[in-house]
Amino acid sequence: MDARESLPDPDRVVPPPEQLTSHPGALRRWTLAGGLVLALVLLWLFAAGEPPEEGRHLGVWSLLPALSTLLLVFITREVISSLFLGVVVGGVVSGQLNVIQAFLLPSIGSTSFATILLVYLWALGGLIGLWTRTGGALAFAEWAGRGIVRGPRSARFFAWLIGIVFHQGGTISTVLAGTTVRPVTDAHRVSKEELTYLVDSTASPIASVIPFNAWPLYVSGLVLGTTPLFATEEATVAFFFRSIPFNFYGIFAVVFTLLFALGWLPWTGAKMGRAIRRARETGELNAPGARPVAADELTTLRVPEGYRSGIDDFLVPMGVLLSVAIIPFFVTGQVRIAEAFGLAVLSAFGLAIAKGMDLRGAMEGFVDGCKGVTVGALILALAVTLGGVSKALGTAAFIVESTAQLVQPVFLPAILMGLCMAVAFSIGSSWGTYAVVFPIAMPLAYAVNPDPTYVSLCFGAVLGGAVFGDQCSPISDTTILSALACGGDLMDHVTTQIPLALAAAALAAGTLTMIAAVL
């Protein structure tokens, strides 16, 4: 080899060694990585142990998985790695270092997760993928634009109205509403931040305010026999319905979304305001740099040449979906959501083939749709796993136990609401929060003041507080599915929704306190 080839290039500028790591971004990343490694080592040395028995907790250590996940999500804006690290932290704290065997496999191997994966993710993604081949969603958007929706305001009101109609429950509502209104709002320059807020805030909140669903029976089973007011199941269910007027967060959340949809809300938060202006002025529905949970397979139109798209491509499968999902509920009280999605997909297939599309093209559309929800499925799997970690460590039990004694009668309803907000935000589940808080909160409220109105006030506070936490948490299934069904970025949805939800929560807490003061 020529010796000259080994000589340094005199024109090449080599930065000093100290500059190689002086870039703020690089330094920040190395600091974060080093801090995570050090924290995990310290946790393993000082906190590793056995998971607590059922109903017990590990003290403040129980909070670490949820807190570390939430902190990392907001610092890095990267959800998947943050969730995984939260699970790892939980494994270190509990001494279960094989987190895949101890937490991940039991969580994703459950019947509930399999239902979510098959129905809410693959069936939903496949149906939307079929619509990208038939053009049905676009045809519906154009029809609604001519006959129903005239602009962004009426498109937002349409989204709110559909959310009210689909009040069966959180996950069901987000999927049905988001799938139905997305083509309409997209066509009228409604940002994804606006749409996900409307869909998410008319899901669990409206399900708790118009509870013609499974909520009353579930909650009544948690509080049955805990006080003389809940002596029988009939009395408990009746008490649930009498407490609905005191579910102020649920009521205010629905009212706030209506005012927002109509453009009558005087304050929407700085980031939401920027999203609205961006969508109206530029047509960019997602923020620059956004990473939508739904992939391109769910948004790119690929209608085969010669195929005649029509509104029937959207309305027939959607009509089947809604009919099978809703009619049995009102007739028999049974929820047939799995059958509804299955028949909707089959009807979309059948109609597309009957109109001339070949089977291979239709199947490719379905498979592309399933591919498009891969990121959402991964996020949801890790979120469910983190929920299992939090349950195993007694996170909710610790929060309740550490705050239950710090009460005064006039502030108890607001404290219970704030407690449920914190628990649900940490574990990502309103029903999981109910399971922990209701059996403790109702006897406590009855001991403080046995007046049924006062207990109803506390009952409504628990209902609303858990809904807030579930609605706003980035690890909640309804939050994730809202972003997925609407095609938005998960963290953009979370950060634009929280200010509006907090405003409704503050108003609800103030109302609870004022009413408690006069009882």
pLDDT tens digit string along 168-219?
A: 555 666 776 787 788 889 989 999 999 999 999 988 898 888 876 667 877 8
Q: How confident is the model at residue 261 (pLDDT cuts 50, 70, 90)?
A: very high
Check: CB of residue 396 under 8 Å from CB of residue 423. Answer: yes
pLDDT of residue 56: 61
What is the domain range of residue 273? 112-208+250-375
Tokens standing for residue 474: 């980035």
> Which segment of 101-105, 406-410, 490-494 scores lowest on mean pLDDT?
406-410
Closest by CA to 419, choosing from 448, 446, 398, 388, is 398
Question: Bridge-partner residues for 489, per DSSP?
Answer: 292
Nearest-angstrom CA–CA distance, 433 and 456: 18
Q: Is residue 76 part of a domain?
A: no
Per-residue pLDDT tens over the stretch 300-358: 668 888 888 888 998 899 888 878 877 876 777 666 777 888 898 999 999 999 998 98
**Residue (of 431, 427, 194, 188) closest to 178 by Cα position:** 194
Retrieve residue 302's tokens.
Answer: 């690929």
Tokens of 274: 């920027």
Q: What is the three-state SS of 222-250?
A: HHCCCCHHHCCHHHHHHHHHHHHHHCHHH
Averaged pLDDT score across all residues of the chain: 81
What's residue 459's pLDDT?
A: 96
In a domain, 182, yes or no: yes
Angle between helices 270-282 and 192-201 (to 10 degrees): 130
> What is the C-alpha separation between 490 and 442, in angstroms, rounded?
35
CA end-to-end span of the chain:
94
CA 313 to chain centre: 29
pLDDT digits (tens, 9 = 90+) for 106-152: 888 877 778 777 776 788 788 878 888 888 877 876 777 677 788 89
Any domain includes 135: yes
Q: Is residue 72 part of a domain?
A: no
- Both tokens of 451, joined, read 């007046």
Q: Identify the three-state secondary structure at position 489.
A: strand
User: Helices marked H in 394-489 — which ranges?
Assistant: 395-403, 412-427, 430-448, 452-472, 477-486
pLDDT of residue 74: 67
pLDDT tens-digit series, residues 398-426:
766 776 566 688 999 999 999 899 888 88
Contact (CB, 8 A) for 371 and 295 = yes
Angstrom distances, CA of residue 284 to CA of 133, 162, 289, 328:
23, 24, 11, 40
From residue 320, alpha-carbon distances to 130, 246, 348 in Å are 15, 36, 10
DSSP, res 292: B
Distant-in-sequence contacts of 41-49, Cβ < 8 A, 24+ apart: 43/89, 43/92, 43/93, 44/92, 44/97, 47/92, 47/93, 48/92, 48/93, 48/94, 48/95, 48/97, 49/93, 49/94, 49/95
Q: Give residue 14's pLDDT.
A: 47
Q: Is residue 307 a contact partner of residue 381, using CB atoms and an 8 Å limit? A: no
Radius of gyration (C-alpha) of the chain in whole angstroms: 25
Answer yes or no: is 121 within a domain.
yes
Total domains in the chain come to 1
**Domain for residue 300, yes or no?**
yes
Q: Give, for 167, the enclosing helix (H) or strand (E).
A: none
pLDDT: which is higher, 222 or 468 = 468
> Is residue 228 in a domain?
no
Long-range pairs of 145-149 with CB within 8 A, sequence gap ≥ 24: 145/184, 145/187, 145/188, 149/184, 149/188
Mean pLDDT of 246-259: 95
Residue 133 inside a domain? The answer is yes
